[in-house]
Amino acid sequence: MTTTKVRVRGVFWRDSRKGTQVHPQTRARGDWYIRYTDQHGRLHKERVGPRALAIELYRKRKTEIREGRFFPKPMPKRVVLFDEIAEDFLAYSREHKRSAQNDEARMRRLLATFRGRSIADISVHDIERLRGELSRDLSAASANRHLALLKVTFNRAMKAEPAKAERNPLRGVKLLKENNARVRVLTDTEEERLLAALPLCYRPLVIVALHTGMRRGELANLRWQDVDFHTRTLVVQQSKSGEGRRVPMNRVVVATLRALRRERQAFGGLVFTSPEGRFLHNFGRAWGKAVSAAEITDLRFHDLRHTAASRLVMAGVDLYTVKEILGHKTLVMTQRYSHLSPEHQRQAVERLVPAEPVHASATDPVTAPAASATGGAGEVTTEKKWWTGGELNSRHQDCQSGCIQAGRALIRKKWSASAEVWAVAACHSRVAKLRSGRERAIRGSIATGPLSRSPVPPAGDGRIRIR
């Protein structure tokens, strides 16, 4: 009489010519195996041999997993080449990124260096050597874009299921220092020469760029349905940040676009096109020729955006409004673009220069006796003391008392020349405050004796006359 053995969960038989056991029913050679899932949900299989030993080992493994004492052996990993993770990232970029073409161009450069190499063999030393090669051939910004692409490629390989990379060799590698504070603003004369050198079909594009600060890509994709002449706004459907915005139009932009619309008789499609009416693919060639013909150096189309931002700031527009017009996400970017021109800065620092000292002309009938008394040839210059500019000095009360004492000194010394000049200098700092009413006390104090003053001088006269 034969007995049928009960099946145990997780224990199974597998036929094999090299097996160590014989199946009791089929008489085939093979072994007993166990199958279980660990605490991380990962499936494991083990070859045991006898059935009783397989049941015992299965229960032991389940107990270890339940108590947290199970540590599986690391499974052998396959060799993953850089070509594989590069293709994985490019597939993601084509589906989710608008800059997929730029990623493909940079990835070709990276594949030329790491093609056919295992990602486990790529070290920090290899990345630093690549950084040196890129810095010799490209600018710092372009080299950093290549390194950023390589870094995100390894990051996606680490997040894959199952993970294809255990580490990122770019972690801890410093990027090159970029100098993005480009100071290039188009001057008025350069603007005239540039517009004169440009073909007629491209002049509206440059004019609108100078008066709106829009990017080249935003202007190239602008359509007539995005132009609202009623509200004087341009609608950018998708900017660099991926969001839309509305750009106001001034009178120059409105007149330019209306003339362009009448000339081309266009009511749909793109606003700015090539002479054939197509997308602006070859505008860079015409731009380079115009810049060379106008004899302008170091000028890019993006500098028109810099120019618009700088002109707005120099006109007194606050930075927050400039940020909204340019479509920046943060105010830091606006401060980068809104640098002032050197001429505007020079005019600002000129305001720190103090006003010239007051001169008394010898032809003045009031001050002529003083000039002759001091032996001056044509003028009497007051000595610059602390009381000049008294409205900014905390000791203006001392100036007031000194003025009164000087007037009394004129009486005692019988109008000596030195006392008269000293009185003029002491009273000079009080001219700016005659309108406030404080000088009434001074005039009353001086008028108590034989000394009297002339009427209040008009604005701009830098002295007080004494008779």
pLDDT recorded at residue 144: 93
Q: Are 210 and 256 in contact (CB under 8 A)?
A: no
pLDDT recorded at residue 422: 43
67 HSE (CA, 13 A, CB side)? 7
pLDDT recorded at residue 338: 55
pLDDT recorded at residue 163: 83
Q: Are 85 and 169 in contact (CB under 8 A)?
A: no
| Cα–Cα distance for residue pair 396/229, rounded to 1 Å | 59
pLDDT recorded at residue 462: 45
- In the predicted model, residues of the chain with pLDDT beneath 50 are 1, 360-398, 400, 410-411, 413-443, 445-467
| Torsion angle (degrees, nearest 10) of CA 204, 205, 210, 211 | 60
pLDDT recorded at residue 55: 93
Domains of the chain (ranges, CATH numbers): 11-67 (no CATH), 82-159 (1.10.150), 188-346 (1.10.443.10), 359-446 (no CATH)
pLDDT recorded at residue 182: 65
pLDDT recorded at residue 333: 79
What are the distances in angstroms from CA 78 to CA 14, 81, 118, 178? 26, 10, 10, 39
Structure tokens at 303: 């500098």
pTM comes to 0.51
Q: Please state the three-class secondary structure of the chain as a single string.
A: CCCCCCCCCCEEEEECCCCCEECCCCCCEEEEEEEEECCCCCEEEEEEECHHHHHHHHHHHHHHHHHCCCCCCCCCCCCCEHHHHHHHHHHHHHHHCCCHHHHHHHHHHHHHHHCCCEHHHCCHHHHHHHHHHHHHHCCHHHHHHHHHHHHHHHHHHHHCCCCCCCCCCCCCCCCCCCCCCCCCCCCHHHHHHHHHHCCHHHHHHHHHHHHHCCCHHHHHCCEHHHEECCCCEEEECCCCCCCCEEEECCHHHHHHHHHHHHHHCCCCCECCCCCCCCCCCCHHHHHHHHHHHCCCCCCCCCHHHHHHHHHHHHCCCCHHHHHHHHCCCCHHHHHHHCCCCHHHHHHHHHCCCCCCCCEEECCCCCCHHHHHHHCCCCEEECCCCCCCCHHHCCCHHHHHHHHHHHHHHHHHCCCCHHHHHHHHHHHHCCHHHHHHCCHHHHHHHHCCCCCCECCCCCCCCCCCCEC
| Cα–Cα distance for residue pair 364/465, rounded to 1 Å | 10
pLDDT recorded at residue 184: 81
What are the distances in angstroms from CA 75 to CA 24, 45, 72? 33, 12, 8
Beta pairing, strands 11-15 & 29-37: antiparallel
